[in-house]
Structure 1
Amino acid sequence: MLLTTAPHWKGSIWPSIKILYCSMLCPTVSETDCYVTLWLPTASSEKVRTKTVRNCKDPVWNEMFYFRIQSQVKNVLELAVCDEDVIRDDDYCIILFDIAKVPLGETIFMKFELNPHLRCKPYIHLYSTSGPDIRLGFDLCPEEKEFLQKRKKVVAAALKRVLQLEEDLQDDEVPVVAIMTTGGGMRALTALYAHLLIMQKLDVLDCVSYFSGLSGTTWTMSNLYNDPNWSHKDLEVPLLDAKKHMNKNKFFASFAPERLKYYVKELRQRSQEGHIISFTDLWGLIIEAMLHDGEVHQKLTDQKQALNHGQNPLPVYLCLNVKEKVNSRGFREWLEFTPYEVGFQKYGAYIRAEHFGSEFFMGHLMKKIPESRISFLEDEYFHYMQAYKLPTRMQSPPDSLANVFQDIITWRPAVSVVPNFLKGCPMHNKYLESEFSNWKDCDLDSFPNQLTGAEDFLYLIDNAFALQSSYPPLMRPERNVDLIIHLNYSTGSQLEVRRLRHTSEYFSEQGIPFPKNVPSKEEEKELKECYLIGEQEGAEIPLVLLFPLVASSFREYKAPGKSTYAFILRFVFISVVFSPYDINTLRYSEEDFEKLVKLSQYNIENNKDMIINALRIAVERKRQTEKS
Structure 2
Amino acid sequence: MFRAVLLSRVSSPMLPLLTAVLFQKKEREDTGLYHQRREKHPYYNLAVKVLRARNIKGTDLLTKADCFVQLQLPTASPNADRTQVVDNSSNPEWNKTFQYRIHEPVKNMLYLTLFDEDFFANDELTSVVFDVEGIKPGKPIKRTFQLNPEDQEELDVEFYLKKCSDAPTEVLTNGVLVAHPCLSLQGVINKDEKLKLSEKGSCQVKLSVPGAYEKQLCIPCRPDSDEDFRTPFVFHVDKEMCPELEVELEQSINILQDEITSDIEKHSMLLGQGTVPVKSLPVGQEVDMTIPLGKGHSLDLSVKAEESTWDLDVRLSFDLCEEEKKFLDKRKKMASRALMKTLKLKDAPGKDEVPVVAILGSGGGIRALTSLYGSLSGLQQLSLLDSTMYLCGISGSTWCVSALYKDTDWSHKDLQGAIGDARDKVSSSKAGAFSSERIKYYIQELKSMQNDGRKVSFTDLWGLIIQHFLHQKDDPSKLSDQQKAVRRAQNPYPIYAAISVRHNFRRDDFTEWCEFTPYEVGFRKYGAFVRTEDFGSEFFMGHLIQKHPEARMCSLMGMWGSAFAASLDDVCLKTVGSGLSFLESLKDIIKVIDDGQRLHFQDCSRLKTRLIIPGGPILQIFQDIFTSRVTSWETFNFMNGLYLHKDYVKNRNFLAWKGTHLDAFPNQLTPMVDSLYLVDGGFSINSPFPLVLQPERDVDVILSFNYSWEAPFQVLLLTQKYCEERDIPFPQIILSEDDVKKPKECYMFTDDKNPKAPIVLHFPLVNDTFRKYKAPGVERKSEDEKSFGDFVIEGKDSPYRTLNFTYEPHDFDRLVEVTRYNVLNNKAILLKALNLALSRRKLKKGNGL
TM-score (norm 1): 0.82
Partner of 1:509 in structure 2? 725
Q: Secondary structure at the match of 1:496?
A: coil
1:420 matched to 2:637: yes
1:16 matched to 2:183: yes
Query: Do the aligned partners of 2:455 and 2:635 also contact (CA within 8 Å) in 1?
Result: yes
Specify which of 843, 846, 849 is matched with residue 624 of structure 1.
Answer: 843
Partner of 2:411 in structure 1? 231
Q: Tell me, in whole angstroms, the C-alpha distance in 1 between the residues paired with 2:793 and 2:552.
A: 33
Partner of 1:457 in structure 2? 675
Partner of 2:712 in structure 1? 496
Displacement of 1:483: 0.6
Counterparts of 1:14-93 in structure 2, within 5 Å, are: 14-19=181-186, 64-70=234-240, 75=242
Displacement of 1:88: 12
Q: Secondary structure at the match of 2:414?
A: coil
1:307 matched to 2:489: no
Partner of 2:563 in structure 1? 384
Cα distance 1:46–1:197, how it changes in 2: closer, same or farther (>3 A)?
A: closer
1:290 matched to 2:469: yes
Cα distance 1:236–1:78, how it changes in 2: closer, same or farther (>3 A)?
A: closer
Displacement of 1:236: 0.7
1:598 matched to 2:778: no
Letter in 2 for 1:256: S
Cα distance 1:306–1:29, how it changes in 2: closer, same or farther (>3 A)?
A: closer
Specify which of 314, 320, 324 is matched with residue 134 of structure 1.
Answer: 314
Cα distance 1:490–1:114, how it changes in 2: closer, same or farther (>3 A)?
A: closer
Query: Do the aligned partners of 2:371 and 2:815 also contact (CA within 8 Å) in 1?
Result: yes
- Encode CA deviations 1:288-316: one digit per residue, 9 max, x unaligned: 11111311111011011101111111111
- Name which of structure 1's ranges 592-601 and 573-582 shifts more when overlaid on structure 2: 573-582
Displacement of 1:575: 2.9
The structure that is strand-richer by fraction is: 2
Counterparts of 1:339-358 in structure 2, within 5 Å, are: 339-358=518-537
Query: Do the aligned partners of 1:110 and 1:125 also contact (CA within 8 Å) in 2?
Result: yes
Query: Do the aligned partners of 1:215 and 1:462 also contact (CA within 8 Å) in 2?
Result: yes
Q: Which structure 2 segments of 5+ residues have no match?
A: 1-168, 196-203, 252-268, 291-299, 572-628
Q: Tell me, in whole angstroms, the C-alpha distance in 2 between the residues paired with 1:556 and 1:385.
A: 38
Query: Do the aligned partners of 2:186 and 2:303 also contact (CA within 8 Å) in 1?
Result: no
Displacement of 1:367: 2.3
Specify which of 765, 785, 803 is matched with residue 584 of structure 1.
Answer: 803
Displacement of 1:279: 2.2
1:574 matched to 2:793: yes
Q: Secondary structure at the match of 2:180?
A: strand
Partner of 2:445 in structure 1? 266
Cα distance 1:164–1:124, how it changes in 2: closer, same or farther (>3 A)?
A: same
Query: Do the aligned partners of 2:500 and 2:514 also contact (CA within 8 Å) in 1?
Result: yes
Displacement of 1:437: 4.6
- Encode CA deviations 1:435-485: one digit per residue, 9 max, x unaligned: 445697771111111211232322222222211111111111111111100
Displacement of 1:608: 0.9
Counterparts of 1:542-557 in structure 2, within 5 Å, are: 542-557=758-773
Displacement of 1:369: 1.8
1:178 matched to 2:358: yes
Q: Which structure 1 segments of 5+ residues have no match?
A: 103-107, 393-411
Q: Tell me, in whole angstroms, the C-alpha distance in 1 between the residues paired with 2:459 and 2:308.
A: 41
Q: Tell me, in whole angstroms, the C-alpha distance in 2 between the residues paired with 1:52 and 1:210.
A: 58
Query: Do the aligned partners of 2:366 and 2:804 also contact (CA within 8 Å) in 1?
Result: yes
How many residues matched? 586
Q: Tell me, in whole angstroms, the C-alpha distance in 1 between the residues paired with 2:689 and 2:663.
A: 21
Q: Secondary structure at the match of 2:712?
A: helix
Q: Tell me, in whole angstroms, the C-alpha distance in 2 between the residues paired with 1:514 and 1:121.
A: 62
Cα distance 1:553–1:368, how it changes in 2: closer, same or farther (>3 A)?
A: same
Query: Do the aligned partners of 2:172 and 2:310 also contact (CA within 8 Å) in 1?
Result: no
Return the index of the structure with the highest Cα Rg. Answer: 2
Letter in 1 for 2:678: L
1:614 matched to 2:833: yes
Cα distance 1:202–1:52, how it changes in 2: closer, same or farther (>3 A)?
A: farther
Displacement of 1:590: 2.1
Cα distance 1:571–1:49, how it changes in 2: closer, same or farther (>3 A)?
A: same
Q: Tell me, in whole angstroms, the C-alpha distance in 1 between the residues paired with 2:217 and 2:630.
A: 41
Specify which of 539, 555, 562 is matched with residue 360 of structure 1.
Answer: 539
The structure that is helix-richer by fraction is: 1
Specify which of 469, 476, 482 is matched with residue 700 of structure 2.
Answer: 482
Displacement of 1:266: 1.4
Query: Do the aligned partners of 1:14 and 1:67 also contact (CA within 8 Å) in 2?
Result: no
Q: Tell me, in whole angstroms, the C-alpha distance in 2 between the residues paired with 1:97 and 1:416.
A: 36
Displacement of 1:261: 2.6
Cα distance 1:367–1:536, how it changes in 2: closer, same or farther (>3 A)?
A: same
Partner of 2:691 in structure 1? 473
Query: Do the aligned partners of 1:182 and 1:468 also contact (CA within 8 Å) in 2?
Result: yes
Query: Do the aligned partners of 2:180 and 2:541 also contact (CA within 8 Å) in 1?
Result: no
Q: Tell me, in whole angstroms, the C-alpha distance in 2 between the residues paired with 1:464 and 1:448.
A: 26
Q: Tell me, in whole angstroms, the C-alpha distance in 2 between the residues paired with 1:377 and 1:559.
A: 37
Query: Do the aligned partners of 1:515 and 1:542 also contact (CA within 8 Å) in 2?
Result: yes
- Encode CA deviations 1:238-260: one digit per residue, 9 max, x unaligned: 10011111221122x31234322
- Encode CA deviations 1:110-145: one digit per residue, 9 max, x unaligned: 587979xxxx99896755413332211211112211
Partner of 1:168 in structure 2? 348
Query: Do the aligned partners of 1:321 and 1:461 also contact (CA within 8 Å) in 2?
Result: yes
Cα distance 1:131–1:65, how it changes in 2: closer, same or farther (>3 A)?
A: farther
Cα distance 1:64–1:521, how it changes in 2: closer, same or farther (>3 A)?
A: farther
- Encode CA deviations 1:502-554: one digit per residue, 9 max, x unaligned: 32123112211111143334421232211111153421000111111111111
Displacement of 1:12: 5.4
TM-score (norm 2): 0.62
Displacement of 1:571: 3.7
Q: Tell me, in whole angstroms, the C-alpha distance in 2 between the residues paired with 1:256 and 1:360.
A: 39
Q: Tell me, in whole angstroms, the C-alpha distance in 1 between the residues paired with 2:760 and 2:214.
A: 54
Query: Do the aligned partners of 2:770 and 2:821 also contact (CA within 8 Å) in 1?
Result: yes
Partner of 2:395 in structure 1? 215
Counterparts of 1:140-151 in structure 2, within 5 Å, are: 140-151=320-331
Cα distance 1:195–1:356, how it changes in 2: closer, same or farther (>3 A)?
A: same
Cα distance 1:79–1:166, how it changes in 2: closer, same or farther (>3 A)?
A: same
Q: Tell me, in whole angstroms, the C-alpha distance in 2 between the residues paired with 1:300 and 1:135.
A: 19
Q: Tell me, in whole angstroms, the C-alpha distance in 2 between the residues paired with 1:50 and 1:599.
A: 66
CA RMSD of aligned residues (A): 4.0
Partner of 1:445 in structure 2? 663
- Name which of structure 1's ranges 520-529 and 475-484 shifts more when overlaid on structure 2: 520-529
Partner of 1:558 in structure 2? 774
Partner of 1:528 in structure 2? 744
Q: Secondary structure at the match of 2:662?
A: helix
Cα distance 1:62–1:133, how it changes in 2: closer, same or farther (>3 A)?
A: farther
Q: Tell me, in whole angstroms, the C-alpha distance in 1 between the residues paired with 2:631 and 2:804.
A: 19
Q: Secondary structure at the match of 1:212?
A: strand
Partner of 1:404 in structure 2? none
1:430 matched to 2:647: yes
Query: Do the aligned partners of 2:183 and 2:306 also contact (CA within 8 Å) in 1?
Result: no
Q: Tell me, in whole angstroms, the C-alpha distance in 2 between the residues paired with 1:527 and 1:439.
A: 37
Displacement of 1:20: 7.0
1:193 matched to 2:373: yes
Specify which of 491, 504, 508 is matched with residue 329 of structure 1.
Answer: 508
Displacement of 1:96: 6.2
Q: Tell me, in whole angstroms, the C-alpha distance in 1 between the residues paired with 2:438 and 2:278.
A: 60
